Amino acid sequence: MRYMTRCCWWISFFILATGASSSQTLREAADRSGMLVGTAVRPQQLSESLYATTLAREFNMIEPEDVMKWETIHPAPETFDFSQGDQLVAFAVSHQMKVRGHTLTWHQQNPKWLTGQQRTPEQLARILEQHIKTVVGHYRDKVSAWDVINEAFDETTPVKLRSTIWYDQPGIGYAGKGSRYMENCFRWAHAADPGALLFYNDVEAEAVNPKSDAIYAMVRDFRRRGVPIDGVGFQMHLGNPHPDVASISQNIGRFTALGVKVHITEMDVALPVDADGNAHSADLQLQAIAYRDVASACLAHTGCTAIQTWGFTDKYSWIGSHSKHTQGAALLFDREYRAKPAYEALRKMLESSRRR
Ligand code: XIL
């Protein structure tokens, strides 16, 4: 009995010791491989100790999930509310993290004062210019990259520019002139912070498909004409754990060849869940492979510099309400902040990459 106890103690010691020497956090693995590993954050959860400690330990970049969107940051025509955004930036500063800003122009989560009133294109252009310059100016040198435009293309075939207040309802003066309305947004953001990287961000454009073709044509045109765009964000909200990795890699390759950076901006891998929110363990393994393979596709291209997830704990993920609770368990940590197979798969993939 005594022998057994001592023997087991030595075995545990050995496992712990060897484990400790090879294991590192996601953040350490990313730092060593010269990558950004980020996540979307809800500042109201920062007071929850496990939330804050996990966040600071595992990520070197954060992005506001909602609090820099128009409805929060610009709640009335002459009112900007930076309080929650500032809280997030302060957290990033105190933990040496970068901040991605999200988002300056979108068709959702806009305040009623903006969408509920008829305006001329000139009036709307003035409002948008003031918004972009005020928000980007406020976070000058604090937010290192901005999603200047979010989801400007729609889901139809053939792909068209989405009908929005910014494009053609009534639009800021370029209705029917293709992607030209976005150029001013990039120029205004660049004027407010010439050091920030400016991104076009979209959903369901991660593989080679008609939508990514349209974005590719736009970005190539912007680069040729000197519109200040630095990168493209692929959201990577996967509705199942079977991404077309070869096509994703090919797509990342053609964008980075244009000279723009690629960021994976909002990755989650939604799984079917039971009434308690639990997924099957076989699906959790497939999910791990999906995270690993997407990371591998990014790491294969030096211009792909960030992998970001849309939240990090299944306790707080938009997938539940978005899917009416038929899907969930989409992130790297479970609801008790325990690392899932996906965490380990992503960490190992980052650890195995040395890009510096
Ligand atoms: C989502 C947030 O996660 C939710 O909290 C909010 O209720 C709706 O928006 N694409 C985007 C993100 O660019 O801003 C969205 O975030 C998810 C889809």
Domains of the chain: 24-352 (3.20.20.80)
The pLDDT of residue 175 is above 70: yes
Whether ligand 1 lies within 6 angstroms of the CB of 318 is answered as yes
- Alpha carbon separation from 291 to 56, 287, 346 (Å, rounded): 21, 6, 6
pLDDT at residue 119 in the model: 97
Distance 317 CA to ligand 1 centre (A): 10
- Alpha carbon separation from 320 to 3, 17, 325 (Å, rounded): 51, 39, 4
Can you tell me the mean pLDDT for 38-44? 98
pLDDT at residue 23 in the model: 60
Phi and psi, residue 134, nearest 5°: -70, -45
The pLDDT of residue 296 is above 80: yes
The pLDDT of residue 19 is above 80: no
pLDDT at residue 149 in the model: 99
CB 259 within 8 A of CB 222: no
Q: Tens digit of pLDDT for each residue in 194-206?
A: 999 999 999 999 9
The pLDDT of residue 318 is above 80: yes
In the chain, the percentage of residues whose pLDDT exceeds 70 is 93
Whether ligand 1 lies within 6 angstroms of the CB of 66 is answered as yes
Can you tell me the mean pLDDT for 156-180? 97
Q: Which atom of ligand 1 is nearest to the CA of 318?
A: 3
Computed over every residue of the chain, the mean pLDDT equals 94
Q: Tens digit of pLDDT for each residue in 64-88?
A: 999 999 999 999 999 999 999 999 9
Distance CA 48, CA 246 (A): 39
Q: Which atom of ligand 1 is nearest to the CA of 317?
A: 3
Can you tell me the mean pLDDT for 273-300? 97
* 129 among known catalytic residues: no
- Alpha helices per DSSP H over the chain: 2-22, 26-33, 49-58, 70-73, 83-94, 112-115, 121-138, 180-192, 210-225, 245-256, 281-299, 319-322, 341-351
Whether ligand 1 lies within 6 angstroms of the CB of 63 is answered as no
Can you tell me the mean pLDDT for 93-118? 98
Which one of 45, 63, 66, 201 would you pick to mutate in the ligand 1 pocket, going by the greatest count of ligand atoms within 8 A of its CB?
A: 66
The pLDDT of residue 177 is above 80: yes
Q: How confident is the model at residue 276 (pLDDT cuts 50, 70, 90)?
A: very high
Residue having the nearest C-alpha atom to atom 9 of ligand 1: 66
Of the residues 63, 65, 206, 266, only one is catalytic, namely: 266
Distance CA 164, CA 115 (A): 10
Distance 40 CA to ligand 1 centre (A): 10
Q: How confident is the model at residue 128 (pLDDT cuts 50, 70, 90)?
A: very high
Q: How confident is the model at residue 356 (pLDDT cuts 50, 70, 90)?
A: low
Q: Tens digit of pLDDT for each residue in 209-255?
A: 999 999 999 999 999 999 999 999 999 999 999 999 999 999 999 99
Whether ligand 1 lies within 6 angstroms of the CB of 71 is answered as no
Which one of 266, 316, 327 would you pick to mutate in the ligand 1 pocket, going by the greatest count of ligand atoms within 8 A of its CB?
A: 266
The pLDDT of residue 328 is above 50: yes
* 151 among known catalytic residues: yes
Q: How confident is the model at residue 148 (pLDDT cuts 50, 70, 90)?
A: very high
The more confident residue out of 6 and 229 is: 229
The pLDDT of residue 12 is above 60: no
Can you tell me the mean pLDDT for 150-155? 96
